[in-house]
Amino acid sequence: MDILNKDLIIRMKIYSLFVFCILVCSNCTNTGKGDKSKYFSNPILEQGADPYVYHHSDGLYYCMVTRGNRLTLWKAKTFTDLSSAETKDVWFPPETGPNSSNIWAPEIQFIKGAWYIYYTACDKKNQGDQTRYVFVLRNNSENPLVGNWDDLGKIDTEYPGIDGEVFEYKGEYYFLYSPYVKNQSGLIIAKMNSPWEIEKPSTLLALPKYDWEKTGIREIMEGPQFLVGPGDEVFIVYSAAACWDDNYGLGMLTAKKDANLLDSLSWSRSDIQVFKQCPENSVYGPGHNCFTKSPDGKEDWIVYHGKKASSNECSGRSMRAQPFIWDKNGRPLFGKPLSLATKIKVPSGL
């Protein structure tokens, strides 16, 4: 184990102590004395696989999770309490065609005056990994819960794949996804010409190589999410293994802020998980995350799914959230996934 990863282990232990002292102890001393509305408990949604949260300029949060047969959107003041959110099934797949089945991992974005939803789907009549692609919808309404969602078709990627992520950095838009390359799912990045078109050729950033990225016959890196640090680095945090595996967790790539993001040599890679199962807290298979900010922009939060029991199934994944901090070098400290019994302070600014 190199020095960087020894340092990562130390930093994770420090963060765990922070979580215990701040999130747990403070709740113990305040239970029954303060305003209970200032705390929440996970899960946010019981059926909440592949959660995504978008904090819009209107101050509201737009949330999505995998529903399998439709796209559902939540519009809320806070992502930690969706019980009072406005919600709507905004799109149903066609009866036939390339995007007619297995509607997974939706992400909503607002780009240049329009709303876009990126989602994974395949052909109902020919289901399988080789017909699975990322598709995109567009809505020109100010409010994405009204108006029409126009089907713009699939992103024309060089491989079939899943889990499309769109992000803007230094005025450019990029597309990340997880391609199927033989028995592996890796990470590919491409620059975007428009919200529905990518430049070619794209760049293969990584394929699975560590034991924790492999499960049986499948070797998987998926669910990539871009994260900008407070220092001089940016990150791609991805999920590894498989959703049915208890060991499903997060890995991380790191690059300098002034690096060429399309150059695979710009990225270094942690050889250990940066967020993983926590049996002592009854959390298994935590992953497929996204990142968001508190309403006042002062806190960073990780939103992810996890299971409360050990199993060999993808079912039982619930949407969860907890804050994270940064170390002195500007790298994220996610700590351990918290127990469902833990009371957590609501995001600051509510």
22-54: per-residue pLDDT in tens?
444 444 434 444 465 799 999 999 999 999 999
Q: By C-alpha distance, which of 95, 102, 110, 111 is closest to 134?
A: 102
Domain boundary assignment for the chain: 3-345
For 3-345, the fitting CATH number among 3.50.50.60, 3.60.20.10, 3.40.50.300, 2.115.10.20 is 2.115.10.20
Looking at residue 314, the DSSP 8-state letter turns out to be S
195-237 pLDDT, tens digit each: 999 999 999 999 999 999 998 888 999 999 999 999 999 999 9
pLDDT digits (tens, 9 = 90+) for 166-205: 999 999 999 999 999 988 999 999 999 999 999 999 999 9
**Total-model pTM:** 0.91
Measure CA 188 to chain center. Answer: 16
Q: Is the dihedral of CA 146, 167, 119, 307 positive or negative?
A: negative
- The pLDDT score that the predictor gives to residue 98 is 97
Residues 5-27 pLDDT 10s: 555 555 555 555 454 444 444 44
Average pLDDT along the chain: 92
Q: Kindly list the catalytic residues.
A: 50, 222
The residue count of the chain comes to 350
